[in-house]
Amino acid sequence: MSRKAKENPMDVPPRGLDWHWHLAEGPVEVDTTELEFALMRTFEGFGRWQSECLASVCDLAATGPENALLHIIRMNDRPKTIKDLARLTNRDDVPNIQYSLRKLIGAGLILRKGAGRSGVTYEVTDEGRRVTDDYGAVRRRLLIQAVAGVPGFSDRLAEATRTLNLLSGIYEEISRVAATHRRG
Protein backbone atom coordinates (compact mmCIF):
# COMPACT_ATOMS: atom_id res chain seq x y z
CA MET A 1 0.00 0.00 0.00
CA SER A 2 1.36 3.42 -0.87
CA ARG A 3 2.11 6.07 1.72
CA LYS A 4 -0.73 8.24 0.39
CA ALA A 5 -3.23 5.42 0.80
CA LYS A 6 -2.23 4.91 4.44
CA GLU A 7 -2.62 8.57 5.38
CA ASN A 8 -5.69 9.66 7.21
CA PRO A 9 -7.48 12.22 5.01
CA MET A 10 -7.81 14.47 8.07
CA ASP A 11 -3.99 14.61 8.28
CA VAL A 12 -3.56 15.98 4.75
CA PRO A 13 -4.11 19.71 4.22
CA PRO A 14 -6.88 20.28 1.65
CA ARG A 15 -4.74 22.32 -0.69
CA GLY A 16 -4.18 20.33 -3.88
CA LEU A 17 -0.38 20.68 -3.68
CA ASP A 18 2.20 18.45 -2.05
CA TRP A 19 2.92 20.32 1.18
CA HIS A 20 5.02 17.54 2.72
CA TRP A 21 8.69 18.39 3.00
CA HIS A 22 11.41 18.50 5.65
CA LEU A 23 9.72 21.25 7.71
CA ALA A 24 6.12 20.27 7.16
CA GLU A 25 5.00 16.66 7.25
CA GLY A 26 1.62 17.07 8.92
CA PRO A 27 -1.17 19.64 9.21
CA VAL A 28 0.21 21.49 12.25
CA GLU A 29 3.67 21.63 10.67
CA VAL A 30 2.22 22.85 7.37
CA ASP A 31 0.23 25.59 9.10
CA THR A 32 3.21 26.61 11.25
CA THR A 33 5.58 26.68 8.27
CA GLU A 34 3.11 28.67 6.16
CA LEU A 35 2.81 31.20 9.01
CA GLU A 36 6.60 31.43 9.33
CA PHE A 37 6.95 32.09 5.60
CA ALA A 38 4.20 34.70 5.83
CA LEU A 39 6.04 36.31 8.77
CA MET A 40 9.28 36.45 6.77
CA ARG A 41 7.55 38.02 3.78
CA THR A 42 5.64 40.43 6.01
CA PHE A 43 8.82 41.43 7.86
CA GLU A 44 10.62 42.19 4.60
CA GLY A 45 7.63 44.08 3.17
CA PHE A 46 7.23 46.01 6.41
CA GLY A 47 10.91 46.98 6.35
CA ARG A 48 10.61 48.22 2.76
CA TRP A 49 7.46 50.16 3.68
CA GLN A 50 9.21 51.79 6.66
CA SER A 51 12.22 52.77 4.54
CA GLU A 52 10.09 54.21 1.73
CA CYS A 53 7.79 56.07 4.11
CA LEU A 54 10.78 57.60 5.93
CA ALA A 55 12.46 58.47 2.61
CA SER A 56 9.32 60.39 1.63
CA VAL A 57 9.78 62.78 4.57
CA CYS A 58 13.59 63.06 4.91
CA ASP A 59 16.84 62.30 3.10
CA LEU A 60 18.01 59.54 5.44
CA ALA A 61 18.43 56.08 3.93
CA ALA A 62 17.46 54.02 6.96
CA THR A 63 16.59 50.38 7.43
CA GLY A 64 13.28 49.30 8.93
CA PRO A 65 14.90 48.56 12.31
CA GLU A 66 16.60 52.00 12.33
CA ASN A 67 13.28 53.62 11.57
CA ALA A 68 11.68 51.61 14.37
CA LEU A 69 14.33 52.86 16.81
CA LEU A 70 13.56 56.47 15.86
CA HIS A 71 9.85 56.02 16.54
CA ILE A 72 10.43 54.08 19.76
CA ILE A 73 12.73 56.84 21.02
CA ARG A 74 9.94 59.31 20.27
CA MET A 75 7.29 57.07 21.90
CA ASN A 76 5.65 58.78 24.89
CA ASP A 77 8.12 61.66 24.42
CA ARG A 78 10.43 60.12 27.03
CA PRO A 79 14.17 59.51 26.59
CA LYS A 80 15.17 55.86 26.18
CA THR A 81 18.29 53.94 27.19
CA ILE A 82 19.89 51.28 25.01
CA LYS A 83 18.47 48.74 27.45
CA ASP A 84 14.97 50.18 26.88
CA LEU A 85 15.44 50.06 23.12
CA ALA A 86 16.71 46.47 23.17
CA ARG A 87 13.82 45.35 25.37
CA LEU A 88 11.13 47.19 23.39
CA THR A 89 12.40 45.82 20.07
CA ASN A 90 13.17 42.32 21.43
CA ARG A 91 16.75 42.62 20.22
CA ASP A 92 20.00 41.57 21.83
CA ASP A 93 22.41 42.90 19.19
CA VAL A 94 23.54 45.96 21.15
CA PRO A 95 26.47 46.81 18.83
CA ASN A 96 24.04 47.01 15.88
CA ILE A 97 21.66 49.14 17.93
CA GLN A 98 24.57 51.45 18.80
CA TYR A 99 25.51 51.70 15.10
CA SER A 100 21.91 52.64 14.22
CA LEU A 101 21.85 55.24 17.00
CA ARG A 102 25.06 56.83 15.67
CA LYS A 103 23.44 56.98 12.23
CA LEU A 104 20.32 58.67 13.64
CA ILE A 105 22.50 61.10 15.64
CA GLY A 106 24.51 61.89 12.49
CA ALA A 107 21.27 62.65 10.64
CA GLY A 108 20.30 65.10 13.38
CA LEU A 109 17.18 63.13 14.36
CA ILE A 110 18.16 62.12 17.90
CA LEU A 111 20.46 63.33 20.68
CA ARG A 112 22.61 61.34 23.07
CA LYS A 113 22.46 62.69 26.60
CA GLY A 114 24.28 61.72 29.76
CA ALA A 115 27.42 59.70 30.35
CA GLY A 116 28.59 56.39 31.72
CA ARG A 117 27.09 52.99 31.16
CA SER A 118 23.75 53.59 32.82
CA GLY A 119 23.35 57.34 32.43
CA VAL A 120 23.06 57.57 28.65
CA THR A 121 19.66 58.22 27.10
CA TYR A 122 18.46 59.09 23.63
CA GLU A 123 15.72 61.51 22.64
CA VAL A 124 14.44 63.03 19.43
CA THR A 125 15.58 66.45 18.27
CA ASP A 126 13.22 69.06 16.86
CA GLU A 127 14.09 67.71 13.41
CA GLY A 128 13.40 64.18 14.65
CA ARG A 129 10.02 65.34 15.93
CA ARG A 130 9.22 66.93 12.55
CA VAL A 131 10.29 63.79 10.66
CA THR A 132 8.29 61.45 12.91
CA ASP A 133 5.24 63.72 12.69
CA ASP A 134 5.52 63.85 8.88
CA TYR A 135 6.04 60.06 8.80
CA GLY A 136 2.88 59.66 10.87
CA ALA A 137 0.93 61.82 8.43
CA VAL A 138 2.11 59.80 5.42
CA ARG A 139 1.39 56.57 7.32
CA ARG A 140 -2.16 57.72 8.08
CA ARG A 141 -2.74 58.83 4.49
CA LEU A 142 -1.45 55.61 2.91
CA LEU A 143 -1.43 52.67 5.31
CA ILE A 144 -4.21 53.49 7.75
CA GLN A 145 -6.53 54.63 4.98
CA ALA A 146 -5.87 51.34 3.13
CA VAL A 147 -6.53 49.07 6.11
CA ALA A 148 -9.48 51.12 7.37
CA GLY A 149 -11.31 50.33 4.12
CA VAL A 150 -11.20 46.56 4.70
CA PRO A 151 -14.38 45.41 6.49
CA GLY A 152 -13.64 43.79 9.87
CA PHE A 153 -9.93 44.43 9.51
CA SER A 154 -9.59 46.13 12.88
CA ASP A 155 -10.77 42.97 14.66
CA ARG A 156 -8.45 40.86 12.50
CA LEU A 157 -5.52 43.14 13.38
CA ALA A 158 -6.31 42.83 17.09
CA GLU A 159 -6.42 39.02 16.83
CA ALA A 160 -3.21 38.97 14.78
CA THR A 161 -1.52 41.12 17.42
CA ARG A 162 -2.56 38.70 20.18
CA THR A 163 -1.38 35.74 18.10
CA LEU A 164 1.98 37.33 17.26
CA ASN A 165 2.57 38.30 20.90
CA LEU A 166 1.83 34.72 21.93
CA LEU A 167 4.16 33.38 19.24
CA SER A 168 6.87 35.82 20.32
CA GLY A 169 6.79 34.31 23.80
CA ILE A 170 6.78 30.76 22.45
CA TYR A 171 9.75 31.46 20.15
CA GLU A 172 11.65 33.08 23.05
CA GLU A 173 11.06 30.08 25.30
CA ILE A 174 11.93 27.47 22.72
CA SER A 175 15.06 29.39 21.69
CA ARG A 176 16.20 29.17 25.34
CA VAL A 177 15.46 25.43 25.36
CA ALA A 178 17.32 24.94 22.07
CA ALA A 179 20.30 26.92 23.40
CA THR A 180 20.56 24.59 26.41
CA HIS A 181 20.66 21.54 24.18
CA ARG A 182 23.18 22.62 21.55
CA ARG A 183 25.63 20.09 20.23
CA GLY A 184 29.29 20.53 21.12
The rounded mean pLDDT for the chain is: 88
On the 0-12 / 13-18 / 19+ scale of CB atoms within 10 A, 146 is: exposed
Q: Cα(48)–Cα(53) distance, rounded to whole angstroms?
A: 8
Nearest to 117 by CA among 70, 83, 79: 83
Asked if the model's pLDDT at residue 100 lies above 80, the reply is yes
In this prediction, residue 113 has a pLDDT band, given cuts at 50, 70 and 90, of very high
Report the predicted TM-score, pTM, of the whole model to 2 decimal places: 0.81
For residue 8, which amino acid is it? N
User: CB within 8 A of 134, min separation 6: which ones?
Assistant: 57, 58
Is residue 62 within 8 Å of residue 103, measured between CB atoms? yes
Query: pLDDT tens for residues 152-168?
Result: 999 999 999 999 999 99
Asked if the model's pLDDT at residue 44 lies above 70, the reply is yes
